[in-house]
Amino acid sequence: MFTIALRVLWNGGVARIAVEQARNAKAKLLVYRESFYNYDLSGIYVEFLRRKGEKGFLTPLFRKITEIYAKNRGDEATVDLDLIVKASRIIKEPALFHDQFAGITGYLRKVFHGEDYAIYLHETSLTLKGIKYLIPKVMERKVLEGAKIILTNSQWNKRVLEDKGMGAEVLYPGCYTIDEVEEDKENFVLAVSMWDEGRRPEIYGEIAKRIKGRLIMAGSWARRDTMEEFKRKYPEVIVTDRISEDKLRELYKKASLTIRFGFDERGPGMAVLESLCNGTAVIVNDGLGGKEFVIEGENGYVIKDWKEAVDRINEVLENHKLRRSLSINALETGKKYSWRNHAIKLTEIMEKIA
């Protein structure tokens, strides 16, 4: 057995991947801090270093430090340096660390105990400009260079790392596919994310004003005040906030399209893959790693801006035959990925770390 180390268990793509890896690879899941989530953890060997609602003595200080780099992500985004160090005294077996901050734990184990470790990198700070990013970039480089294996979630991320002189292997996330496409898709477009100001929710609000159907934004919000302000400004949008996994799957299956924008977000965006696996075509922009799943005009579209997105959405909503074709092809794409195959490959990779 190996360990999968996750800094924060909350409703986000990183946590979703870690949970399903642990479930399907029969690995131990070590969660540094528990937050709000809807994941079914039955059948998973999970250990928490800090339970929901608990705070450490230095938590306020770590929150202030985190705000320098992630001002609008809310308290739950705090990087708990005390737990990162604590984990280095607990993990004593091969481990995969989700993100470069959790990877500090692996780096400490290697420095003091000579143990190898693997990193699953979702996004990198190495391309960021500005003096304030100097320390995170130095830290990330040391963590990545110290890892025996670097895994990442997109070819885009792989190319960035190669440009920085580091090799990486792409291991796309997995998904659970449905058996067949819903016969009667409903007249709405779905957007799923962990919402904050960095996701630019106002873009979806402007789209909602102009499409010939509803737009539903599903998923938790990092800050409630951000959500409430958005709802006041864009009453046209149906905002679900946090919903169950079962309800989310139903939305994926019933939606005519799923839309997701990224802004130099090199990760795929779990909503893109999960939409395809539920037989729903996707519209993404060029700034999202999820474009790697899109076959233009067959299972979705890659667009340049929200105005083009409006045109594409209305085209699909008004054309049943086109929507049906896109949906069938979307499911066929989704079938190429599965959590089982992901887990088999991950286990083979982790066996290289003794």
Q: What is the pLDDT of residues 160-183, one digit of tens each?
A: 999 999 999 999 999 999 999 988
pLDDT band of 70, cuts 50, 70, 90: confident
Of 334, 344, 351, 17, nearest to 180 by C-alpha is 334
Query: How long a stretch of residues is the chain?
Result: 354
Q: Looking at per-residue confidence, does 353 or 301 come out higher?
A: 301
| pLDDT, position 225 | 92
| pLDDT, position 76 | 76
Q: Quote the CATH superfamily of domain 1-172+338-350.
A: Glycogen Phosphorylase B; (3.40.50.2000)
The domain spans of the chain are 1-172+338-350, 184-335
**Per-residue pLDDT reduced to its tens digit, 267-316:** 998 999 999 999 999 999 999 999 999 999 999 999 999 999 999 999 99
pLDDT band of 72, cuts 50, 70, 90: low
| pLDDT, position 303 | 97
The average confidence (pLDDT) of the chain is: 94
Three-state SS at 14: helix
| pLDDT, position 222 | 86
Side-chain-side CA neighbours of 176 within 13 Å: the count stands at 12
Distance CA 323, CA 252 (A): 14
Given a cut of 80, is residue 354 above it in pLDDT? no
Quickly list H helices, 55-126.
59-69, 81-87, 103-113
Output helix, strand, coil percentages for the chain, rounded to the nearest 5.
45, 20, 40
> pTM of the predicted model, to two decimals?
0.91
- Range list of β-strands (E), the chain: 3-9, 28-34, 46-48, 95-98, 118-121, 149-152, 169-170, 188-192, 214-218, 237-241, 257-260, 282-285, 300-303
- Range list of β-strands (E), 17-170: 28-34, 46-48, 95-98, 118-121, 149-152, 169-170
Quote the percentage of the chain above a pLDDT of 70: 99
Distance CA 47, CA 306 (A): 42
CATH number for domain 184-335, candidates 3.40.50.720, 3.50.50.60, 3.40.50.2000, 1.10.287.610: 3.40.50.2000
Of 31, 74, 29, nearest to 52 by C-alpha is 31
> Strand 28-34 to strand 46-48: parallel, antiparallel, or no bridges (unpaired)?
parallel
Distance CA 118, CA 144 (A): 9
- Range list of β-strands (E), 122-267: 149-152, 169-170, 188-192, 214-218, 237-241, 257-260
Distance CA 262, CA 280 (A): 19
Examine domains 1-172+338-350 and 184-335 and report if their fold is the same.
yes
pLDDT band of 67, cuts 50, 70, 90: confident
Mean pLDDT within 182-208: 94
Distance spanning both ends of the chain, measured CA to CA: 11
